[in-house]
């Protein structure tokens, strides 16, 4: 087997898959916090493989397909299994169906992304909530709210169902979501406001010891939906040229 420079980013991608598999094993043992940490590590490797591939100019279709397969496990199957183990197990087969929504939606979103990809350059926007962000949204709710004693138990059943369904729908939607900014001057010049907001969100997440991650991700999720609906209504407003002027008063000879 001939080794090429693409082996480096591909190994990082496989490390992503290993972390996702480990998260599933930890979830099976009810070690939910540890499982969440491994999914976060998978997200780190998912980011590093793309950065490394661009730095050494080794991007390829194989890398894209491998990345999608690993993402499907780490950010689709692993969070779905965690949802099942934590809450939906009590509903039997119906619980399996509901818990599988993030995995099903995530795989569909990845497949749609792969058939629509036109190049290997960084994109400013994605169509549909990216699957790593969806996984982080689910994990941050589970760790900081659902298994926390600070969040009232009476709200947890409705909350976990809403998080599961809303996150899944956001992934398969046509809403546009900003790609994470790269730590570079070029990225700052392209989107200075979003870059600054992203830095502020990171600072708030660290300052709150993770408790603000879920609310901040909800803002990110619903902002994409709100912006899409705003432009949709704006585009479907009746143009001024099409306004019916037949009811206007005819000019009189004295005008």
User: 121-172 pLDDT, tens per residue?
Assistant: 556 778 889 999 999 999 999 999 999 888 999 999 999 999 999 999 999 9
8 Å CB contact between 58 and 8:
yes
CATH number at residue 58: 1.20.120
Residue 253 lies in a domain: no
Q: What is the pTM of this model?
A: 0.85
Residue 34 has pLDDT above 70, yes or no: yes
Taking the C-alpha atoms of residue 211 and residue 215, their distance in angstroms, rounded to an integer, is: 8
Per-residue confidence at 183, pLDDT binned at 50, 70, 90? low
Residue 124 lies in a domain: yes
Residue 243 lies in a domain: no
pLDDT given at position 134:
95
Per-residue confidence at 83, pLDDT binned at 50, 70, 90? very high
| Domain enclosing residue 127, as ranges | 7-231
> What's the total number of domains in the chain?
1
Residue 252 lies in a domain: no
Residue 183 lies in a domain: yes
Residue 237 lies in a domain: no
Residue 155 lies in a domain: yes
**3-state SS track over the chain:** CCCCCCHHHHHHHHHHHHHHHHHHHHHHCCCHHHHHHHHHHHHHHHHHHHHHHHHCCCCCHHHHHHHHHHHHHHHHHHHHHHHHHHCHHHHHHHHHHHHCHHHHHHHHHHHHHHHHCCCCCCCCEEECCCHHHHHHHHHHHHHHHHCCCCCCHHHHHHHHHHHHHHHHHHHHCCCEEECCCCCCHHHHHHCHHHHHHHHHHHHHHHHCCCCCHHHHHHHHHHHHHHHHHHHHHHHCCCCHHHCCCCCCCCCCCCC
Residue 238 lies in a domain: no
């Amino acid at each position: 087997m001939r080794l090429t420079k693409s082996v480096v980013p591909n190994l990082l991608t496989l490390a992503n898959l290993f972390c996702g598999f480990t998260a599933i094993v930890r979830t099976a043992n009810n070690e939910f916090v540890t499982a969440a940490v491994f999914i976060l590590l998978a997200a780190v490797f998912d980011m590093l493989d793309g950065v490394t591939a661009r730095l050494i100019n080794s991007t390829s279709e194989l890398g894209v397909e491998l990345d999608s397969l690993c993402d499907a496990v780490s950010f689709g199957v692993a969070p779905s299994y965690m949802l099942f183990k934590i809450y939906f197990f009590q509903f039997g087969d119906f619980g399996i169906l509901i818990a599988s929504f993030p995995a099903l939606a995530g795989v569909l979103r990845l497949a749609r992304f792969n058939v629509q990809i036109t190049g290997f350059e960084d994109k400013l926007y994605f169509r549909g909530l990216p699957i790593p962000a969806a996984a982080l949204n689910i994990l941050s709710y589970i760790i900081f709210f659902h298994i926390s004693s600070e969040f009232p138990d009476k709200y947890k059943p409705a909350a976990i169902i809403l998080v599961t369904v809303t996150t899944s729908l956001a992934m398969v939607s046509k809403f546009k979501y900003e790609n994470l900014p790269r730590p570079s001057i070029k990225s700052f010049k392209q989107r200075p406001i979003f870059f600054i907001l992203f830095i502020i969100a990171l600072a708030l997440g660290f300052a709150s010891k993770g408790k603000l991650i879920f609310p901040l991700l909800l803002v990110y999720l619903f902002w994409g939906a709100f912006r899409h609906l705003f432009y949709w209504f704006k585009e479907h407003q009746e143009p001024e040229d099409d306004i019916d002027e037949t009811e206007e008063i005819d000019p009189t000879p004295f005008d």
